[in-house]
Chains A and B, each alone.
Chain A
Amino acid sequence: MIKMKQMTSRERVLNALAGKPVDRTPVANPTSVATVELMDLVGAPFPKACRDPELAARLASTGYTELGFDSISPYFSIIQESSALGCEMQWEDKDNWPTVRMYNPIWKDSNDIKIPHDFLKHGEVKAITESIKMIRGEFGDEVAIIGKTMGPWTLAYHVFGVEKFLLGTVDNPEETFKALEKLNEISILFGQAQIDAGVDVLTFPDHATGDLVSGEYYQRFLQDIHTDIVDKLPVPLILHICGRTIDRMPFIAQTGMAAFHFDSKNDPQEAMDAVNGGITLVGNINNPETLYARTPNEVKQEVFKCLDAGVQMIAPECAIPLATKIQNLIAIPEAVKEWTASKSAD
């Protein structure tokens, strides 16, 4: 690694996403790093922190101020768009994520898809856009602000129900394409609103995971949509898909997305080989076994493995369990700094 002038966190993240040199590998959170400990620390508990912009900003900022990550992401769940569309919510308490009751879907097919005229004024949507403005106001350009707009595949799970939507992909693929195109308008609308509010980057979760569908499915149903959205949302996009994804990484690498946020089910080196330099990789520290249940030292070993493989941005694989210990999260940037120092000394 070339010795460089120290960068701000924002510069570090944006450079890594653009494939440019960095002073050290950035640590980001494309998905939530909120924990119960952090909620208590700043008095911003779930579910209020998912609905109130001030609390959302306060809780999200801890990712930078307390954990030492290079980004702030003021979202903690996957419910904002679906709540604004009228899906039934389960708000839960401090120790559980709010979630969409997908077993009570709101729509039957693509003809039902209608974006409410007041979508961007809905409470959960505004909680995100307003909190972005607050964070930008407080931190200026020192840290990268990451927003999130759900992709059409995930929205389809929410509005149609997972089982019905997946059955539809076999029974009537043309209808699936229609639904995805219409739902993509929602992704663009919310993404643009966050760009207008001041985000530097958008996470684009679209859960066409290998635990549910094949790589061929990704190519057939989503690759073009994901390629298209790169032009529609003019900030670096981080595609997030959980689970096994090696088989679709070569397709993902062709979309033009800035980065892919990948799961610990995929070996870092194998993932790097699969994308072959076509896209920046972000990941992939294991949540349930390592971050939740192991020691800071074990977390560091996993970070070193990612860095040795050449992963360009380090992050937990997905939203972390709420009972994860802060010390395990702090170990991630610590490990990156230790690794960087050891390489500089070489």
Chain B
Amino acid sequence: MPVVNDLLEKQLAYVSNPKEQTHIRALWKNADPLMQEISVNLIHGKNEEVSKLTENALAQGFSANTILDDGLIAGMAIVGVKFRDNLIFVPEVLVAARAMKAGMFHIEPILSESGVEPLGTIIMGTVKGDLHDIGKNLCIMMLRGSGFNVIDLGVDTSSEEFIEAIEDNEDCVVGMSALLTTTMPNMGKAIQAFEEVELRDTVKVMVGGAPLTQEFADDMGADGYGKDAISCVDLAKSFFSVKKTEY
């Protein structure tokens, strides 16, 4: 079914890259109008509506996976593009994330019970000395929504805490976040600590955060840099050899 929701059509107009437009539009190619309504309300940050619509969808027999993929994650794809292109900023992303959480509240227990194997385990933490977590939390929400098991080490995470988590989780990926230019070098220190305990070769490290650049990530010895939550998911998928979104 094509996009039939006018408000969703308006949102799609914000996706200016034609290839990206085609890809994102295809997210709704099999989506019921109800899923499209969930997406639109999520984009507008209407958490109560998303909650009600998700409940309705479950009552009508839609599976939790369908609601997650065709309603919530599809909506977040547009939010991600608008954020990346500076059409919206963190407050607008936060209200969309809150709406996604409102939907997830109903479907998460069902997904957990279904026993589907996660795509992989990601250890996430904001680096030592940095107490900012909005970006990290958005990444975690998107990673979990995409099927990853995420271990959240929180903020102000020491190298030792990262190392302990790596040792406890075989074949994991580490994601480090920093918002301050003053704490960014602690990413390099953590990676160096992984080398010192001979764990560096066992783990892929991705880094992100508002002041970071690809150049800085390379200098610090990271395996990947994610500009935003969507690229964080794509990076994680690439590390686990899962098909990632290409535009």
A99 touches B181 (CB 8 A): no
Q: Which residues A201-223 have CB closer than 8 A to chain B? A: 209-214, 217
Residue in B156, B181, B215 whose beta carbon sits within 8 Å of that of A321 in the complex: B181
Residue in B closest to A216 when the chains form the complex, CB atoms: B89
Task: Output the least CB separation between B78 and chain A (Å).
Answer: 17
Q: Tell me whether A96 and B129 are in contact in the complex, defined as CB-CB below 8 angstroms, given that A167-B98, A318-B182, A322-B182 are known contacts.
A: yes
Contacts of A317 on B, CB cut-off 8 Å?
181
B94 touches A288 (CB 8 A): no
A169 touches B91 (CB 8 A): yes
Residue in A96, A171, A293, A318 whose beta carbon sits within 8 Å of that of B219 in the complex: A293
**B-side interface residues, number (CB < 8 Å):** 32
Residue in A closest to B91 when the chains form the complex, CB atoms: A166
B78-95 Cβ-contact flags toward A at 8 Å (1 or 0): 000000001011111011
Q: Give bound CA distance, A213 to B184, whole Å.
A: 21
Residue in B129, B132, B137 whose beta carbon sits within 8 Å of that of A97 in the complex: B129
B46-64 Cβ-contact flags toward A at 8 Å (1 or 0): 0000000000000000000
A170 touches B45 (CB 8 A): yes
Task: Output the least CB separation between A293 and chain B (Å).
Answer: 6
Interface size range on A against B: 35 or more
Q: Give bound CA distance, A245 to B156, whole Å.
A: 27
Q: Give bound CA distance, A317 to B182, whole Å.
A: 11
B182 touches A167 (CB 8 A): no
Contacts of B128 on A, CB cut-off 8 Å?
96
Contacts of B216 on A, CB cut-off 8 Å?
288-289
B148-186 Cβ-contact flags toward A at 8 Å (1 or 0): 000000011000000000000000000000010111110
Sorted nearest first, the 6 A-B pairs with minimum C-beta distance are: A211-B210, A96-B129, A287-B181, A166-B91, A212-B90, A288-B184
Contacts of B118 on A, CB cut-off 8 Å?
none
A310-328 Cβ-contact flags toward B at 8 Å (1 or 0): 0000000111111100000
B134 within 8 A of A: yes
Q: Give bound CA distance, A201 to B90, whole Å.
A: 32
Q: Give bound CA distance, A100 to B156, whole Å.
A: 12
B211 touches A288 (CB 8 A): yes
B234 within 8 A of A: no
Residue in A closest to B95 when the chains form the complex, CB atoms: A170
Contact sample, A vs B, 28 pairs, CB 8 Å cutoff:
A92-B129, A96-B129, A96-B183, A101-B131, A102-B132, A103-B131, A103-B155, A162-B132, A163-B94, A163-B137, A167-B98, A170-B45, A170-B92, A171-B95, A210-B86, A211-B210, A214-B89, A217-B89, A243-B210, A287-B182, A288-B181, A288-B211, A289-B215, A292-B185, A318-B182, A321-B181, A321-B184, A321-B185
Q: Tell me whether A99 and B211 are in contact in the complex, defined as CB-CB below 8 angstroms, given that A213-B91, A321-B181 are known contacts.
A: no
Q: Which residues A262-295 have CB closer than 8 A to chain B? A: 265, 287-289, 292-293
Contacts of B210 on A, CB cut-off 8 Å?
209, 211-212, 243
Q: Give bound CA distance, A137 to B183, whole Å.
A: 34
Q: Give bound CA distance, A312 to B141, whole Å.
A: 44
A166 touches B131 (CB 8 A): no
Q: Give bound CA distance, A322 to B130, whole Å.
A: 14
B213 within 8 A of A: yes
B133 within 8 A of A: yes
Residue in A closest to B90 when the chains form the complex, CB atoms: A212
B185 touches A323 (CB 8 A): yes
A99 touches B92 (CB 8 A): no
A90 touches B131 (CB 8 A): yes
Contacts of A162 on B, CB cut-off 8 Å?
132, 134
Q: Give bound CA distance, A170 to B94, whole Å.
A: 10
Task: Output the least CB separation between B187 and chain A (Å).
Answer: 10
Residue in B closest to A99 when the chains form the complex, CB atoms: B131
Residue in A closest to B185 when the chains form the complex, CB atoms: A321
11 more A-B residue pairs beyond the given contacts A288-B216, A293-B219, A322-B182, with a C-beta to C-beta distance below 8 A: A99-B129, A170-B92, A170-B95, A210-B86, A211-B90, A214-B89, A243-B211, A287-B181, A289-B219, A293-B185, A321-B182
Residue in B closest to A318 when the chains form the complex, CB atoms: B181
Q: Which residues B196-231 have CB closer than 8 A to chain A? A: 210-211, 213, 215-216, 219
Contacts of A171 on B, CB cut-off 8 Å?
95
Contacts of B185 on A, CB cut-off 8 Å?
288, 292-293, 321, 323
A100 touches B131 (CB 8 A): yes
Contacts of B90 on A, CB cut-off 8 Å?
166, 211-213
